Amino acid sequence: MKSHRNLMIGFVLLLAGVLGLVTMDGMMDRDGMKRMMKNMMGARLPPGINPADLPEPGSAGARLLAQYCTQCHEMPGPGMHSASEWPPVAARMNQRMQMMSGRVMMGMRPDIQVPTRRELAALIAYLQKHAQKTIDKNQYQDLNTSAGKSFAAVCSRCHALPDPKQFTADEWPVVVQRMIKNMKIMAKPVPDGETVETILGFLQKHAR
């Protein structure tokens, strides 16, 4: 297991060197790390959000999100996952940070910091507090309609099915357009205009 992990780390760092993402002193900076991740993922990572747009932007949780989660990719929003999904996601990301932090392979070392246990717990608590609110299917009898099925099929491609009551009828169009933009960036199948309008109508019908 250890040899496999070291081999993977060595491959990542070698790739970084080939891509020109390592500084003269052998340190891979944050921008280099982000470019490497985009290259490895085929530029299909979701775009980041403005830190000022985070829930409770001045809180400790928002600060920790900006400090640790933007080391390898853009700023994720807490709404990317549901409350139950965030702990395993955070654990996986923490494991990757630990693997990369302080490792020197072929004279190169990524500039990666690792949160303490307390910081990780605070970060997960923040993410769960502002996580995607998932739909209670028992409350929506029209999920079996054409509009409901389109909503369920399209919106579950990237995340848990959201509760329409998360936003108002006036807010949903902006949210939907942002999701469509993300789908294009991540090379996900994008619904046609008629389907988008059908989904939007369903969301607005049940909005808060």
Q: Where are the alpha helices (DSSP H) in 80-167?
A: 86-100, 117-129, 146-155
Cβ atoms of 207 and 174 closer than 8 Å: no
Q: What is the pLDDT along the chain (208 residues), one digit of tens a residue?
A: 545 555 555 555 444 444 444 444 455 555 666 666 656 555 566 678 889 889 999 999 999 999 999 988 888 999 989 999 999 999 999 998 888 887 654 455 567 899 999 999 999 999 999 999 999 999 999 999 999 999 999 999 888 899 999 999 999 999 999 899 888 888 889 999 999 999 999 999 999 9
Taking the C-alpha atoms of residue 148 and residue 137, their distance in angstroms, rounded to an integer, is 10
At 105 the three-state DSSP class reads strand
Length of the chain: 208
Model pLDDT, residue 150: 97
Does pTM top 0.75 for this prediction? no
Domain range summary for the chain, segments of one domain joined by + = 2-129, 137-205
Q: Please, is 180 exposed, middle or buried when counting C-beta atoms within 10 Å of its C-beta (0-12, 13-18, 19+)? A: middle
pLDDT value for 180? 93
pLDDT the model gives residue 92: 94
